Each structure stands twice: as structure tokens, then as C-alpha cells.
Structure 1
Amino acid sequence: MSPRRFRCAFAESAPIRARVCRAPSRCIEGTTALSAAKPLSVQDFCQEMGISRSTFYEWRAKQTAPRCIKLPNGEIRIRRAEYERWLNTLEEAA
């Protein structure tokens, strides 16, 4: 029987081969820690927010979008932790 996989902050610090949660009561079942740490693409971000790409780029121009990472190939990514932090700041401001 293979171990159950969870998205977990505890497992993220473990080596990639060992990223299986040791505290499942605090985790969200269904994803590995590696996939939880995977940055969002612009398309993924827009789908989660329900906005168009042009709206995302308008927010970036106004510096109201979450901080982004620009990859060497020019693509933009948003770290999941940054996305969640950004959402929390919007919640507090509302």
C-alpha cells in the first residue's frame, strides 16, 4: 500500500523523494507537497480569479497584482504562497 499524499508545509522542506506528509491531520488530501509548491502560470491565476489576461496585465501595470517571477524564457509565474498572501491583504482591506 502506497502512502497517502497530502499538500503540506511540513513536507515541503523534505527532499523531493520523501515529500509525503507526516502530519495528515493538518493537511489537504489529494496533492503532493511538490505540486503545492509549483508556481501558477498567468493562465492558472486568471482561471482561479475569474479574470481575463488583459485584466491581469492591467493589475501588473498598476502594481496591484501579486508579485511575479519572470522565467528566463520570459514567461511569468506567481508563487502560490505569494498568491495567498496577496489574497489575504485584499481581504483585510475590504
Structure 2
Amino acid sequence: MARPKMLKLPEVLEEIEMSRAVFYRMRARGKAPKLPNGQLRCRRADLDAWWSAMEDAAA
């Protein structure tokens, strides 16, 4: 089975249109997408799930 694509932090930030500083503030509060093993990479599925949760919370 193929490993899931891991997005690098700049790719995540570009997609969600967020600055690195804002991302780190959200991360400190536990509100940023989860990055496995503390790495600055994120699975596509995790980013999509986080985005969906943010949309649901805003509704």
C-alpha cells in the first residue's frame, strides 16, 4: 500500500492562506492541524479533516 502524501509546512500554509506566525500561535493553543510525531509535515487526510472541522465550527 502506498504511503499517504505528506505536505510540508509551506504547502499547508499556502493552502490554508495562513502566515507561519499565526500557524505557530494556533499550534501553541492546540488549534492548528495535527502534525504527526512533531514533524512539520501533515497528511492530506489530516489537513482535510481539520479544515472540515473548522468549517463546521464556523457554521
The answer to whether the superposition gives a TM-score over 0.5 is yes
- Is the 1:70–1:77 Cα contact (8 Å) retained in structure 2? no
The code of the aligned residue for 2:43 comes to R
Higher relative contact order (CA 8 A, sep 6+): 2
- RMSD over aligned Cα, in angstroms? 1.8
1:63 aligns with 2:30: yes
1:18-33, aligned counterparts within 5 Å?
none
Q: What SS does the aligned partner of 1:78 have?
A: strand
1:1-80, aligned counterparts within 5 Å?
13=1, 16=2, 37-70=4-37, 75-80=39-44
The count of corresponding residues between Structure 1 and Structure 2 is: 58
Runs of 4+ in 1 over 3 A off after TM superposition: none
Percentage of pairs with the same residue: 33
Aligned with 1:82 (options 35, 46, 49): 46
Find the structure with the greater CA-based Rg: 1
Give TM-score scaled by structure 1 length.
0.54
Structure holding more helix per residue: 2
Deviation at 1:68, TM superposition (A): 0.4
Give TM-score scaled by structure 2 length.
0.82
The code of the aligned residue for 1:59 comes to M
Distance 2:41 2:23 in 1: 12
Deviation at 1:51, TM superposition (A): 1.2
